[in-house]
Amino acid sequence: MESSEPSGVRDSFRSEIAGALQRGAPVALGVFVLGLIAISVAELVDHPERLTASLAAIMAQLALGAAAYGAHRRMGQATQARSVIVAMVLIGLTIMTAYNVAVRANAELFALWLTIVLVGLSQLIPIGAWAQGIIAAFALAGFTAALAGGALSVLSPAVAWISLASVAAVTVVGAYLADQQRRDAVRARDAVRREAEIATTLIDISQELNATLSRAEVLTRLARRAVQVFGAPIGAINLIEGGRMRIVEACGLPEAEARAARAMYLTVDDIPGGWELLAQPLIELPDVRQQPLFPAELLLQFGYSGLLIAPMRRGATIVGSVSFMYREPRAPFTDHERMLARGLAEQASLALENARLYEEQQEAAEIATALLHVAETIGSSLDPEQVEQSLASLARDLLHSDGAAVYRHDEGRWRLTAVVGSGLPVVNIGEFRTMDIDDQAFPFFRELRRSGIVEIADRDTQNFVPAGLLKRSDVRSSLTVLLARGADPLAIIVVSHSERSGAFSARERRVLSGLAQLGVVALTNAYLAEQLRGANRVKSEFVAAMSHELRTPLNAILGYADILRDQTLGPVQPAQLEALDRLHDRALDLLQMVQATLDLNRLEAGVPMLDWVEVTIGYIVESMRVQIPSRWLKPDVDLTFDVEGAERRLWTDTGKLHTVVRNLVHNALKFTTQGSVRISVRPDGNDTVIIEVRDTGCGIPPEQIGEIFEMFVQGGNTHTHDGVGLGLHLCRRFVTLLGGQIEVNSQPGKGSLFLVRLPVGTRLAAGATTAPTADATVAVSARL
C-alpha cells in the first residue's frame, strides 16, 4: 500500500514514524522496566528460592532493553529502528517464556507482564500492525507454553488465555489504526503543502503574466513557465479562432519545428467529439498509442508520445488550451500535476483576456484617432473627385495594403474614379476609367448589396469575380465595403494585396467600415455641393443673360427720356416733363436693381474683382456727396456731411466703397420722414477709418437686427418702401472684402446708426493708381 503513495507522502510518513519512535521509545522502555521490576519483586516474595534464575532473567531483560534503546538511537532510518525494536522484544519474550517454563512460575504474573509489553508497544512505539501481530503471536505462544506447567490461582486457563488473546488482538488493531491515522494526517499535511506550493507558483505566474499587456509577450512568458513549472519538455499555447486551433507560441521546440507548428491549423470540428473533449477540465494522454481520443498518427508524426491539455475558457467559451507535451510515454498524471495544469490554464485565460481588452482599447483609440484624421481630411473638400481620391489614399494607408480604388455608382453601373498604389495601376488605368461595370455583372455586387462588405481571401478560391480579371489587375486578395445612403449605393472602396492571401482581420474590417461611414457623409455633401454648383451656374448664367437683356432697353429708355427732357425733339409741357422725370427716376431705380443683382451674382460665383487705389478721406466724402440723387432728398430731412482729417489717405476699392455708403445713405433717407441724416468720416488712430451713417428715422425692431443683412430682407413696411432687400447685404459683403467691419445700433422710433470700420492698408496691388484729392473735379452727374 505504501508503494502506491507519492514519494513525498512516503518520505513524510517515514519522518513521522521516526519522530514517534524518538518520542515513544524512552517512555516505553521505562514502562517496561517498571513492569519488569514489579513482577520480579512479586515473584521473589512468593518464591525466594528462584532468586538466581529471576535475577538472571531480569538482568537479561534490562540488558536487552538497553541494547534496543542504544541501537534505536544510533539508527537514522525508521524502518531499521523498528526492526531492531521488534527483534529485541521477541528475544525478551523468549527469555521470559523460557524462565516461566523452567521454574513453573505463576502464569498470571507472566500474563500481566505480557499485557504490559503488548499495550506499551502498541501505544508508545509505532512499530506497525504487522510487527505488533508478530509480537502478539509470540506472546500467545509463550503464554500457552507457560500455562502447560504454571499454576493459576484465580482464573481458569481458558479464561486467562482468551483474555490475553483479546488484549493481543486489540493491540494489533490499535497499531493498525494508529498507522492509518498517521498516514491520513501525513496525506492531509502533504495535500495542504502541495496546494500552498501550487498557489504560490500560480501567484508568481499571475504576477509575471500580468506585468505586461502585450499579447505576444504574455504568450511567450506563458509557454516558458509551462515548461519551467510543470517540468514538461515542451510547452505550447493553442488559440481557437473561427473554429480553427493552432499553436501560437511554443517553448522547448527547435525553431524550424516551432515555425511548422505555428503554420498548421487544426479545425476543431474535424476532430471526433472535438468540442466535447475541450469542454472537459483536462485531456490526459500519458501514452498517445493507448488512447481512443485523438488519431495517434497525427501526434506521433510530430514526435509527441505523451500529452496533457488544459483548455482555456473565457466565461463559457473555449478560447484555446495550454499543452504539455512529452517525447516519450509517461506515467499517469498525478493530482498535483492536474491541479497545476488547471491553475496555469486559468491564469493564462485571465492574462490573455486582459491583453485582449487592452489591445482592443488601444485599437479603438487608434481607429478613433485615424478616423478623426480621416474626417478632417475628407471633410475639407466638396469636390467629389478629390474626396474619392482621398478615400482611396486613406484606405491604403490605414490598412497598409498594396493598393486601393474607389468606384462610383451611377444609374446601375460602376465606374472607376480613384486609384492609388499597386494593383490596378499596373494595367491600363485609362481603360478601367472608361469601363462601366453593370450592377448585375458579377455575384460580387449582389453579395455587396446584401452584406455591405465582401472579402476575397484568395482569388483562386472564390466565385465572386472571375479569377482572370483579378489576376490581370494584380489582385491576390481584397476587401470591399459599400458606401450607401439608405438603400441607394454611392460608391465602393476596394483595398487589395498583390501577394498576400488569407482572411482580413477584424480590425481591418472595422477600420474600413468606419472609413465608409465617414465617406458616405463626405460624398453626400460633395455630390450635393456639385449639384448646387451646377444649379448656381445655371442661375448665374440666367441672371447675367437677363441683366444684359434688361440693361439694353433700360439704357435706351434713359437715353430717349433724356432727349425728351432736354427738349431736343421739341417743346415739352410741364405735365409731360414731370411724367418724363418720373419715368427717368424709375428707370434708374430699375437699373440699380439690375446692377445690384449682377454684383450679388459675382459675389456668389466667388470671383469678386477688387480695384485697389489710394484715396484721401476728403475725396471719399466729396464723391459720395455729389453722387446722391436729388430724388432721394426730402424737404423735412436734413442731409449733412462731416469729415475729419480730409488729407488722411487709405487704400481701398472706391467703386465698392461708394456702393456701401450709397446704399447706407439711401437706406437712411428711405426710412426717415422727418429729422436728419448725418454722414461722418474720421480716422481712428493710424490704421483705421470710420464711416458713420446716422438717421432719426423709424429705427429697427430688436428682433430684426440679426436679419437685416441677409439677402432679400427689408426693414420697416415693405408696402410703402421700394427695393428688393439687397442693399444692406451687399454692404456687408463689400465691407468684408475690403477687410473691414460693419455694425448697427438702433432703437425703434429713435433712429439707427450704421458704423463701418475700414483698415488704412498698404499698397496691395502692383500698378495701383492714386485717385484725386478733395479739390479735384468729380465728373459725375448729380442726378446719378
Q: 73-93 pLDDT, tens per residue? A: 665 555 666 666 677 777 767
Over 90: is that where the pLDDT of 707 sits? no
Per-residue b or e along 520-539, where b marks 16 or more CB atoms closer than 10 Å to that residue's CB: bebbebbbebeeeeeeeeee
CB 405 within 8 A of CB 416: yes
Confidence of residue 773 (pLDDT cuts 50, 70, 90): very low
- Residue 624 burial (CB count, 10 A): 21
Mean pLDDT of 365-377: 74
Over 70: is that where the pLDDT of 360 sits? yes
Mean pLDDT of 349-370: 79
Write down the pLDDT at residue 765.
42
Digit-coded pLDDT (tens) for 537-558 = 777 677 667 666 777 787 888 7
Mean pLDDT of 125-144: 71
CATH of domain 212-361: 3.30.450.40
14-18, 192-196, 285-289, 703-707: least confident range: 14-18
Digit-coded pLDDT (tens) for 510-539 = 888 888 888 888 888 888 888 887 777 777
d(CA 208, CA 524) in angstroms, rounded, equals: 52
Write down the pLDDT at residue 78.
56
Domain boundaries, the chain: 2-189, 212-361, 372-533, 608-759
d(CA 221, CA 212) in angstroms, rounded, equals: 10
| Beta-carbon contacts of residue 665 (< 8 Å; ≥ 6 apart) | 624, 628, 632, 639, 677, 679, 693
Over 60: is that where the pLDDT of 777 sits? no
Over 50: is that where the pLDDT of 146 sits? yes
- The answer to whether domain 212-361 and domain 372-533 are alike in fold is yes
| Beta-carbon contacts of residue 587 (< 8 Å; ≥ 6 apart) | 554, 557, 558, 561
Domain 608-759 superfamily per CATH: Histidine kinase-like ATPase, C-terminal domain (3.30.565.10)
Which of 376-385, 392-401, 465-474, 602-611 is modeled with the greatest confidence? Answer: 392-401
Write down the pLDDT at residue 427.
47
CB 170 within 8 A of CB 133: no
pTM of the entire structure? Answer: 0.47
d(CA 85, CA 98) in angstroms, rounded, equals: 20
Write down the pLDDT at residue 774.
40
Mean pLDDT of 773-779: 36
Over 70: is that where the pLDDT of 162 sits? yes
Write down the pLDDT at residue 756.
94
Write down the pLDDT at residue 326.
85
Q: What is the mean pLDDT of the chain?
A: 76
| Beta-carbon contacts of residue 537 (< 8 Å; ≥ 6 apart) | none
Digit-coded pLDDT (tens) for 340-357 = 888 888 888 888 888 888
92/643: higher pLDDT: 643
d(CA 11, CA 68) in angstroms, rounded, equals: 24
Write down the pLDDT at residue 741.
92
Write down the pLDDT at residue 783.
25
CB 233 within 8 A of CB 327: yes
CATH topology of domain 372-533: Beta-Lactamase (3.30.450)
- CA distances in angstroms from 741 to 412, 483, 491, 734, 759, listed in the order given: 51, 43, 44, 10, 9
Write down the pLDDT at residue 678.
93
Of the candidates 192, 249, 210, which has an alpha carbon nearest to the alpha carbon of residue 346?
Answer: 210
